[in-house]
Amino acid sequence: IKTTLQHCPLSCSMLKNILKLSYSNNFNFKSIILKNFSKYNNFMDIKKSDLYINGSFVQSCSSNMLDCVNPATEEVFFQVPAANEEDANAAVNAASEAFDDWSNTTGSERAVYLRKIADRVTELQKEFAELETFDTGKPLPESVWDMEDVAGCFNYYADLAEKLDKKQNTNVDIDFPGFSAKLQYQASGVVALIVPFNYPLLMASWKVAPALAAGCTVVLKPSEYTSTTALAFSGVVDDIGLPAGVFNCLSGYGTDVGEPLVNHPLVDKVAFTGSTATGSRILAQSGNQVKSCSAELGGKSPAIIFSDSFKKNGVTNMAELDKLVEWVIFGFAWTNGQVSDIKIQLIISLSLKIIFLIIFFSFFSLRFVQLLREC
């Protein structure tokens, strides 16, 4: 909370305007947000709002569209295609056709493409961050950090792809006369990647980068609520010349696109991040097909505070306790609490309960006064 408020460029101006609401009926928060977005419309126009299949931007086989809503204003600022099963089939077929050539490249060759993606994302960091903020409602500084992590993720897996070459065909001692063995790493195949709304492009990069580094081809399906940066990212992939079919991107609903991807016979692996309910269905469907599946689902993580955690010679270290309170608030409220590992419970020793609560509520009071003074 503290970090978010300190670095959010709208925090003071928003507070001013909220206070002004008491005295004026002319305040229009939507106009403040939307006028700042107009200069980024060209970014999406350049990168297209079409689906990305087999190295080209193509129109969906469906005429349906998804509204992109700015959570701060509830204004529809863009529309993207709502793909269907026919689009999913086309994307999977493209990925399947591209797999043999891509999987036979070396890790060093794949690393070149990954680093080009990282460089291009860095060049467009400002545009990507602004677009992510308009689509998700998260503070701009957090979106900037996300984009930094996106670039860092592709660079990280570029390094691992190069190291993979050194591991290939290494001898394995099986201690059996007359026989020899070598270790060889092989790509899984076509991978369907389904990502959630809270970290749209960052979560996509956590799945796309390792898959490409390993030699897999991918079909990415972003959340139907936050698809803009994933489609814009397709423009980056197009810019750096990634071979056709290696990366494909479909916006659409889970029932229309996600399920056909999971159940497609040419999809060899599914990687999903989202709700436990949806994840259990995907795991069941993958299990019926004996298909590899990885799932990161909703969590229920408690913050646990022991009575002796901040004591030295029997005396509580108040400075450390202050830091703890700040981290607990961070754990509860980061990204508006819309994170799978968010702290939904606080388990605290009774001996620390009163002093902890005093510091906890004082933190919010002092921060609010600080914002008023800054305004």
At 236-249, the pLDDT tens digits run 999 999 999 999 99
293's enclosing H/E stretch is: strand 292-297
Phi, psi of 90 (to 5 degrees): -65, -40
Using pLDDT thresholds of 50, 70 and 90, give the confidence band for residue 328.
confident
CA distance 100 to 248: 16
Kindly report whether the global pTM for this prediction surpasses the value 0.75: yes
The per-residue pLDDT for range 354-370, each reduced to its tens digit, is 888 888 888 777 777 77
- Is pLDDT at 40 greater than 80 in this prediction? no
Using a pLDDT cut of 70, give the percent of the chain over it: 83
Q: How many CB atoms lie within 10 A of CB 333?
A: 15
Q: Which two tokens stand for residue 119?
A: 């460089």
Mean pLDDT of 77-103: 96
Average pLDDT of the segment spanning 12-24: 35
Q: How confident is the model at residue 219 (pLDDT cuts 50, 70, 90)?
A: very high
Mean pLDDT, rounded, of the chain: 83
Model confidence at 314, pLDDT cuts 50, 70, 90, reads: low
Question: What mean pLDDT comes out for the span 35-43?
Answer: 42
CA–CA separation, 161 vs 215, rounded Å? 9
Confidence of residue 21 (pLDDT cuts 50, 70, 90): very low
Closest CA to 190 of 160, 161, 220, 170: 220
The span from the first CA to the last CA of the chain, in angstroms, equals: 18
Q: What is the mean pLDDT of residues 261-288?
A: 94
- Given pLDDT bands bounded at 50, 70 and 90, which one contains residue 9? very low
Contact between residue 34 and residue 73 where contact means Cβ atoms under 8 Å apart: yes
Residue 5's pLDDT band, with cuts at 50, 70 and 90, is very low
* pLDDT at residue 49 in the model: 63
**For the chain, what is the radius of gyration of the CA atoms?**
24
Cα–Cα nearest to 210, from 93, 88, 100, 110: 110
